[in-house]
Amino acid sequence: MERRDEELKRRTFLLSLLMIVCVGAASVYAHVQNENNLYSDIEYSEAKQEIVLLHGIKAIAREGGASVFKPLDLLARSDLAYWAGNFRGLVGTPKDIREAALEQGLVASLEGYATYADVSQAYFDGAAPVPEDLAEAMLSREQFALYMGTFFSEPVNGKTLFDMAGLDAGPDGIVEDVEKEHVTEGGNSYDVFRIKVGGQWYQVSNHPKILNGPVDLTQWIDKRIEFSLYAAESAEADGRVLDIIKVGEAQFTEDEIAAEPGVSMIDDPGIDEADRSNEEAPSSEEEPSSFIGFGGSTNTASGNSGMDGAGSGPAEQDTSRPLPIILIIGGILLIAIVAWLFLKRK
């Protein structure tokens, strides 16, 4: 038994050595992250852009486990301690960071749920304005993102959140050209992008956070960049890489970025009968059945919602129909009424 333990230790040591040998190959994989792949559950959140940006500036951080943000959950003080501690430069394991945040007074406690005042204290030493009458109100993680999002543009003690994160503004304007280089290094393959804006080439970081655009940057040509930020760690001007890029809204449709269930192509009348299968598309039993027919005729073989894009519920989509009819008729009648009243007065 002892021999086996010794053997295991020896093996572990050797493997550790091998791991160290391979460190050089570890940090080079590119993965462009946007609002659809950063977390799996922020597609319908009103704060999805803020969440991506806060993640980009490291004001929030993932801590292993499932890739979920849980926007509607109340913000726990222990999570606030970890996020704010991380943002303010505390290092160590998540437990270390939480304890250090508590020691340094970033949070008053690691128990319970955070309030707006707690958030202001954790990130801004209490200097950030808190919505009126909400100082002691608890907030959801989505509300936290929306609240923090106000400080992207609104300075606290003369600094915006971007300033606090040490990020400098990058270029904006139309993307004239994009280059993708497929690089293999140490057995890992990855894509590196460069974009040309205003006649100048800019290197994009290996893990950029992007908003409103697809993750394949080669498809950005002729699209407009609303704003971009350089990565904080790039101190030298030549080595600067763009880490956060926001493409102007409506450059790409919601559909291009968003996910929505649909009908099987086997229901498409244009498909050859020979290609049809006996198997039917799966259906989601949990979806309220009326979701597919709220005032309308949307038919989904996958049994999912009749939404026509992210964030647009059926109430938005279909219930707009009755109102215009009333208004059109009303408009015509109003003209008649005004005329009638005018004549009546005479």
Q: Per CB under 8 A, does 234 bind another protein? A: no
Q: Per CB under 8 A, does 253 bind another protein? A: yes
Q: Per CB under 8 A, does 65 bind another protein? A: yes
Q: What are phi and psi of 228, to 5 degrees?
A: -145, 160
Q: Per CB under 8 A, does 290 bind another protein? A: yes
For residue 335, give the H/E element and its range: helix 322-345
Identify residues 257-276 at the interface with another protein (CB under 8 A).
257-266, 268, 271, 275-276
180 forms bridges with which residues in the sheet? 193
Task: Please identify, using beta-carbon distances, which residue of 170 and 208 lies nearer to another protein.
Answer: 208
Residue 138 Cβ, how far from another protein at the closest point, in Å?
17
Residues 6+ apart with CB under 8 A from 275: 266
Q: What tokens were used for 233?
A: 């760690």
Strand duo 173-185 + 188-197: pairing: antiparallel
Query: 3-state DSSP call for residue 81?
Result: helix
Q: Per CB under 8 A, does 233 bind another protein? A: no
Task: Please identify, using beta-carbon distances, which residue of 236 and 344 lies nearer to another protein.
Answer: 344
| Total binding residues toward another protein, as defined by CB under 8 A | 101
Q: Per CB under 8 A, does 277 bind another protein? A: yes
Q: Per CB under 8 A, does 40 bind another protein? A: yes
Q: Build a one-symbol-per-residue string for 83-122: x at contacts with another protein by CB under 8 A, - elsewhere.
A: ----------------------------------------
DSSP letter (8 states) at residue 22: T
Do the Cβ atoms of 212 and 37 come closer than 8 Å? Answer: no
Length of the chain (residues): 346
Q: Per CB under 8 A, does 251 bind another protein? A: yes
Identify residues 150-169 at the interface with another protein (CB under 8 A).
none
Residues 6+ apart with CB under 8 A from 250: none
